Amino acid sequence: MKALINRFSRTSLLILTTLSLGVILPNALFASGSVCFSQGYVEVDVLAGSDTLVSIPFHRSVEHVGTLAAVPAQSNGEAVLSAAGDDPEWETDAYNDLYFVRFIDGSLQGLCFTVVSNDSSVLTVDDLGADFSGLTAGVKFELIPYWTLETLFPPAEDNGLTPSTGKLTFQRKTQLLYPNLAGTGINLSVSAVYFFTTNDGWLEDTSGFPDASNVIIYPDTYIIIRQPSSVADTSISLSGSVDMHPLTTSLATEVGTKQDNFVSLNRPIPVTLAQSGLASGFVESTGKLSFQRKDELLVFDNTTAATNRSASKIFFMTGGSWFEDTSGFPNADSFLIQPGSAMIVRKAANDGDTDFAVTTAPY
């Protein structure tokens, strides 16, 4: 990933979307904290002979909710977070690489950092180039396991996908493609391809077919499900904990060239562009014409079968409002981003710094 990430208490709520039917269930208490979270699910149609771009609008159950005991020490690309209060008695190095810390408040609110080591009360995270000096004692954080290929789509269960009959290309069925989060420029090729068999589980399509069970799916991006034409249309169910806190997505820029950022909103209900919070990380165009264009938002429509799918709509901002890049440039403030959607924020050439989009829960 690029430097600096590039990248629930409610009554029952029924979510009806164009993806399918989802439910946010009443409060459930998780792990070692006293914070309540709601559970939910959405179903996503996956067409044969097609690429389905999908994000995961839920996170896994929170392992721990805590506060910082002090300003984190930071050196050599890592930050050391000491938990305040009683020793949580974490097992040493139990969270390495497969868990992340997300700050609930403070100067890094909503950002996620991968745990690289831990002891009984200290978490060391990859700092991703962020400045941790603005954090203070008492800042709240969550410790959450990443979704992995194994946990999101268990190979031994009916996961809605079709297992390959072997490792060779002609034996391939469902494949998962990962966008190139570390690449520079636009229209980037995927960075990796994965598939699974009933006997071997998840594997990467590269020399030796290494095990890919623990390949993580970052919270603010998406994956591409590629189905061959030889399988039937199907659907997948996505479920987990609904986040009630602000979420922050980092948006990389490059000097002298546009930069694609592969993002998602991680909200389980439809959200309008005006509500989305994307504007907080968006550079507005100076007008509606192409030569006046700055940042753009590309969205995708999975309802028709296609591979190497192009964006179905492109949006931009000017004068504080969203507009669609089509005949007449209609206002798009009320355009709905559906749960599980995939998007590309195409940043205009800039200074190479990172912008941030902060989304708040619309429920």
**Domain edges within the chain:** 64-145, 246-359
Spans of the chain, pLDDT less than 50: 1-36
- 339 within 8 A of 15, measured Cβ to Cβ: yes
CA-based nearest residue to 179, from 170, 188, 171, 166: 188
pLDDT of residue 283: 98
pLDDT at residue number 38:
85
pLDDT score at 6: 40
Find the Cα–Cα–Cα–Cα dihedral 260, 266, 267, 268, rounded to 10°. Answer: 120
Distance CA 341, CA 271 (A): 11
Interatomic CA distance for residues 259 and 345, integer angstroms: 8
Residue 363's pLDDT is what?
A: 81
User: Residues in the chain, how many?
Assistant: 363
- pLDDT score of 352: 94
The architecture (CATH level 2) of 64-145 comes to Beta Barrel (2.40)
